[in-house]
Amino acid sequence: MENRTKHLFLTGFCLAQVMAFAPQVFAQERDDWPLIEPDVKPVPVNEALIDTENFEIGAFLGVINIEDFESSFVYGGKLTYHLSESFFFEAGIGFAEGGQTSFENLAGNVQVLTDSEREYRYYNINLGYNLLPGQAFLSENYAFNTNFYLIAGAGATEFGGDTRFTVNAGAGYQVLLTDSLAIDLGVRQHFYRIDVVGAEKTSMNTEIRTGLSVFF
Partner 1 sequence: MPIVILLLMLCLPGMTWAGWLWGDDEPEQRVRVVEPFVVWRTGPAVGYPVFHSSEKGEWLTLLQRKTGWMKVRDKKGREGWVAVAAIAQTQDATGENVNLSVPDMKAFSDRKFEAGILMGEFEGSPVTAGYGGYWFTPNLAAELWGSQVLGSASEILMVNANIVHQPFPHWRVSPYFTLGVGHIWVDPKATLAVPEERDNTVGHAGLGLRAYITERYFIRAEFKDYKVFTSRSTNEEATEWKIGLSIFF
Rg of the chain in Å (alpha carbons): 37
Q: Are 59 and 75 in contact (CB under 8 A)?
A: yes
- Closer of 66 and 88 to partner 1 (Cβ): 88
Task: Give the shortest CB-76-to-partner 1 separation in angstroms.
Answer: 7
Supply the DSSP string of 116-158, one letter for each residue.
GGGEEEEEEEEEEEEEEEEEEEETTTEEEEEEEEEEEEEEEEE
Among 199, 196, 189, which Cα is nearest to 150's?
189
Indicate the residue among 23 and 38 with the shorter CB distance to partner 1.
38
CB of 213 to partner 1, least distance (A): 8
Positions that interact with partner 1 (CB under 8 A): 42-47, 49-54, 57-59, 75-77, 79, 81-86, 89, 93, 95, 125, 127, 130, 132-135, 143, 145, 154-156, 161-165, 176, 179-180, 193, 195, 212, 214-216
Nearest distance from C-beta of residue 17 to partner 1, angstroms: 36
Nearer to partner 1, 13 or 135 (CB): 135
In this complex, which beta carbon is closest to partner 1, that of residue 23 or of residue 42? 42
CB-CB contact of 112 with 105 (8 Å): no
- Residue 203 C-beta: closest distance to partner 1, Å: 14
Least distance in Å: CB of 211 to partner 1? 10
Cα–Cα distance for residue pair 214/82, rounded to 1 Å:
13
User: Would the CA dihedral through 188, 192, 194, 199 be positive or negative?
Assistant: positive
CB of 31 or CB of 47, closer to partner 1: 47
